[in-house]
Chain A
Amino acid sequence: MTATAPRRIEVADAPASGEVGLITRGIAFAIDAIFVDLVAWIVGGALAIIASVFDLPKDVQTVLIAVGAAAALVWIVGYFAVYWATTGQTLGNRIMQIRVRSADADAPLGLGRALLRVFGAFLSALIFFLGFAMIVVDPHRRGLLDHIAGTIVVHVPDQRSHSI
């Protein structure tokens, strides 16, 4: 038997400074989650109060709850998908000055790829968040959702400091 040499793992080079790491993206996502949840809770609470005024049958209540849950899902998916598809910047991204764009070109994603990225985000969370952990070790700081949708997240230079 020959002694096997330890498997050499290529350590990625330090990523370019324009690509955004996990913690910054996590903070931006947390800001988005707070905003999305806040709006959902306010709207949902207001609708629940209005519905409580009427004496609705139990079946209707069940249907309304299902509709509300579907609306919440549409709201969450739509929030991220629309912003990623158009400007590439959600509210959290704006605060953290980062932007989602195509990996191959500096262009908007389009709705299809944005929805694909949302699906990739769900999938990344589903497999014990390993899809997000990839960002730490990927040479271009891309997670599973970025690989699925062909996207990359980059820093946006401060426009005001450039305009001075």
Chain B
Amino acid sequence: MLETARSAGARSVEIVLLPPRIVLAACVAVGERVAAGAVEEALTSRQAAALVERIADRLLAQGLAERFIERLLEAPELERLLGVALDSPGMERLVTRAVESRLTEATMARLIDDAVSRLPQTEALWALVDEVAQSPAVLDALTAQSRGVADDVASDLRQRSRDADDWLERTARRVWHRRGRGGGAAPGMPEPQVP
């Protein structure tokens, strides 16, 4: 009996409080929308932009960004995360795809073309070329190479001339021998062989 009376009382309270609740919810909803619109309007206004800018300037002036970056870099978590990311197969696949992509190829070709076309115009390159060309090591190598080529040519000439000497004297001895025997071999007879 007591239970029934208690539940009936509660239900009646709920019924009584329902209209104010509905009104309150509607007011909250309207208030939220109004507040959001006001904030949006405030943020898009020039004064708000200037305020944000001042806040950012002050934070930067106080070195907050530097401290944040320093802390981020010094933190062991970042190194660990980078290590994990670099060791992961996904990163390898990503890098491979990036390297093999047409964009990378086109970019590399363009960079190389650009570098090749600009290199001759740089004075530093020619200074480097002069420096290398006048270095004792390069000059010694060029001298040795030229001397080697000249020696090879001279050696070849000497060998050929010796062979020609031998050939000329063999021929002369053959002719002399033939004439000595009476004007050479008879027609149809084999030539005399001289060792």
Give chain A's interface residues, CB within 8 Å of chain B. 6-9, 11-12, 14-15, 20-24, 27, 95-97, 136-137, 141
Assess the A27–B161 pair: CB atoms within 8 A.
Answer: yes
Residue in A6, A14, A21, A95 with the greatest tally of chain B CB atoms within 10 Å: A21
Quote the shortest CB–CB distance from A42 to chain B (angstroms): 23
Assess the B180–A8 pair: CB atoms within 8 A.
Answer: yes
- Contact flags (1/0) for B157-185 with A, using CB distance below 8 Å? 11001101110110011001101111000
Quote the shortest CB–CB distance from B131 to chain A (angstroms): 32
Contacts of A9 in B (CB 8 A): 176-177, 179-180
Contacts of A20 in B (CB 8 A): 165
Assess the A11–B173 pair: CB atoms within 8 A.
Answer: yes
Quote the shortest CB–CB distance from A39 to chain B (angstroms): 21
- Taking the complex as formed, is B82 at the interface, i.e. its CB lies under 8 A from any CB of chain A? no
Quote the shortest CB–CB distance from B129 to chain A (angstroms): 33
Known interface pairs A6-B180, A9-B177, A24-B165. Does A96 touch B158 (Cβ–Cβ under 8 Å)?
yes
Residues in B134-163 with C-beta less than 8 Å from chain A:
154, 157-158, 161-162
Assess the A11–B165 pair: CB atoms within 8 A.
Answer: no
Known interface pairs A95-B154, A96-B158. Does A12 touch B165 (Cβ–Cβ under 8 Å)?
no
Quote the shortest CB–CB distance from A90 to chain B (angstroms): 15
Give the docked Cα–Cα distance between A119 and B26 (Å). Answer: 138
Closest to A133 in B: B172
Q: Is the interface of A mostly helix, strand, loop or mixed?
A: loop
Assess the B169–A27 pair: CB atoms within 8 A.
Answer: no
Quote the shortest CB–CB distance from A154 to chain B (angstroms): 12
Assess the B169–A15 pair: CB atoms within 8 A.
Answer: yes
Quote the shortest CB–CB distance from A142 to chain B (angstroms): 13
Contacts of B169 in A (CB 8 A): 14-15, 21, 136-137, 141
Closest to A138 in B: B169
Assess the A136–B157 pair: CB atoms within 8 A.
Answer: no
- Taking the complex as formed, is B189 at the interface, i.e. its CB lies under 8 A from any CB of chain A? no
Closest to A19 in B: B165
Contacts of B157 in A (CB 8 A): 27, 95-96
Closest to B183 in A: A6
Give the docked Cα–Cα distance between A53 and B154 (Å). Answer: 43
Assess the B176–A96 pair: CB atoms within 8 A.
Answer: no
Contacts of A12 in B (CB 8 A): 173
- 29 pairs from A and B in contact (CB 8 Å cutoff): A6-B182, A7-B180, A8-B180, A9-B176, A9-B177, A11-B173, A11-B176, A11-B177, A11-B194, A12-B173, A14-B169, A21-B161, A21-B164, A21-B165, A21-B169, A24-B158, A24-B161, A24-B162, A24-B165, A27-B157, A27-B161, A95-B154, A95-B157, A96-B154, A96-B158, A97-B158, A136-B172, A137-B169, A141-B165
Give the docked Cα–Cα distance between A27 and B164 (Å). Answer: 11
Contacts of B176 in A (CB 8 A): 9, 11, 137
- Given A12-B173, A27-B157, A95-B154, 5 additional A-B pairs, CB 8 A: A11-B173, A11-B180, A24-B164, A136-B172, A137-B169
